[in-house]
Amino acid sequence: MIKAYAISLLCCISLIGAEGKEIFSLYPECPKHEMPYRSPSARYIDTYGWESISQGLKNIGTNMIHRTTFDRISHREEIGFIGYHGSTQEFRIFQDLIRVILEEIVDLPIREDFHFLRLPGHPAFFYKNLSEYPKGYDPTFFLCMNYAIYGNHTNPFSSSYYYFAVNGSSQRVIYEKEIQWIFETLEIETDIIPALFALGRSLIGHENGVIYQIFDMSHYDPRQPYYALADTQCISWGYSTLFSKVVEGVHPTPFPNQIRMLMNNHATLNPYSSLIIKRFDKYPAETISSYMQQLREAIRSLNFSVEKATAYRSHLLQLWENDEL
């Protein structure tokens, strides 16, 4: 009994003294960030109810067939989550070609959880933040998102779910034409572009589109508040308050409007930024891996100007490493 008491006392002392061993002698003061937060999708579902969401989706010509996948995706919403964007497989091929060109030709590895939403380094994307952007809306400069995975379930023109379900997009962009700039920059023959897109189309299906789940993890730097990047790059259409305020758990829940994120080379087209962009689809891992491998082999076989690739690399690094927003 005495022994047990002594052991427990020792445990007690060790636990009471459990302040932790510090490992950095130089560690900045980090303010404790607090923010009321609850998954926007959960709040949306609570507000509208499954019946209304299901009926709404039926009315716009789709159904709840993707619910299992979408439930799993929305389960991943955590503080830092910004919103969803649904788009086409054509957009995906455009993005993957950019990634592979950067990795194989420009020698810039791109992290797995980042995807280019526009052409990186393109001179058009020079507005560093929303305050620099002139008034008005031009879809070239913005990515539209829903707060909740079933957001705008009654409006096919603003619903990520709908665009995923029908492999559609609100933008009628011809990506084969759009990507030409990067080919010209690197002096790659542009005649090959249709064949590259055709290769991509032949390897992945087009029954459904893709859905992006976008996060701003600025707070990974413990000195930064939540949504530090989003507050300078995202506007919540219909609200004049900062994005971080709109997304707070205490705000009324229905999220009727869109989030619009400014596309620019310094922040949102920058893989060194705090943005995390997850892309989901319904294809098996083997299909995607084989598609990426073949795309990579096709890009590796292209002729390009080494001088131009070096210049483009320096240009991108200069843009990405300058984090003054």
Residue 18 found at the interface with another protein (CB under 8 A): yes
Please tell me whether residue 21 binds another protein under the rule CB under 8 A: yes
Does residue 111 interact with another protein by CB under 8 A? yes
- The residue among 46 and 71 lying less far from another protein, judged by its C-beta, is 71
68 burial level (CB within 10 Å; 0-12, 13-18, 19+): exposed
**77-96 binders of another protein (CB under 8 A):** 78
Sheet holding 259-262, edge to edge: 142-145, 259-262, 234-236
Residue 4 binds another protein (CB under 8 A): yes
Q: Which is nearer to another protein, 258 or 274 (CB)?
A: 274
Which of 5, 34, 135, 202 binds another protein (CB under 8 A)? It is 5
Calculate ∠ Cα 67-73-78, nearest 5°: 135
Smallest separation, CB 3 to another protein (Å): 12
Q: How many degrees, rounded to 5, is the angle at CA 136 between CA 131 and CA 140?
A: 90
| CA distance linking residue 85 with residue 63, whole number of Å | 18
Helix (H, G, I), strand (E, B) or coil at 188: coil
- Count of residues touching another protein (by CB under 8 A): 42
- Compute the distance between CA of residue 96 and CA of residue 204 in angstroms, rounded to an integer: 12
Q: Which of residues 147-176 bind another protein (CB under 8 A)?
A: none
Indicate which single residue of 103, 113, 178, 248 sits in contact with another protein (rule: CB under 8 A): 113
Q: How far apart are CA 209 and CA 169, in angstroms?
A: 9
> Does residue 203 bind another protein (CB under 8 A)?
no
Q: Considering only residues 268-307, where is the footprint of another protein by CB under 8 A?
A: 271-272, 274, 276, 280, 284-285
Residue 261: other Cβ atoms inside 10 A: 27
* Single residue of 1, 2, 3, 26 touching another protein by CB under 8 A: 26
Q: What are the beta bridge partners of residue 85?
A: 212
1 belongs to the binding site for another protein (CB under 8 A)? no
| Cα–Cα–Cα angle for 98, 209, 279, rounded to 5 degrees | 55
- Interaction residues for another protein, span 28-67 (CB under 8 A): 28
Q: Which is nearer to another protein, 26 or 134 (CB)?
A: 26
Question: Of these, 1, 2, 3, 25, which contacts another protein (CB under 8 A)?
Answer: 25
For another protein, the closer of residues 233 and 274 by Cβ is 274
x/- track of binding to another protein for residues 302-321 (CB under 8 A): ------------------xx
Binding mask 219-238 for another protein (x = CB under 8 A): -xxxx---------------
Report helix, strand or coil for 254.
coil
Contacts of 146 (CB under 8 A, 6+ apart): 83, 84, 85, 152, 158, 159, 160, 255, 258, 259
- Return left, alpha or beta for 136; rule: phi > 0 is left, psi -120 to 50 is alpha, else beta: left
What six digits make up the tokens of 79?
A: 């503080």
- Closest distance between another protein and the C-beta of residue 134, in Å? 30
Q: Site residues (CB under 8 A) for another protein?
A: 4-5, 7-9, 11-12, 15, 18, 20-28, 69, 72-73, 75-76, 78, 111, 113, 215, 217, 220-223, 271-272, 274, 276, 280, 284-285, 320-321, 323
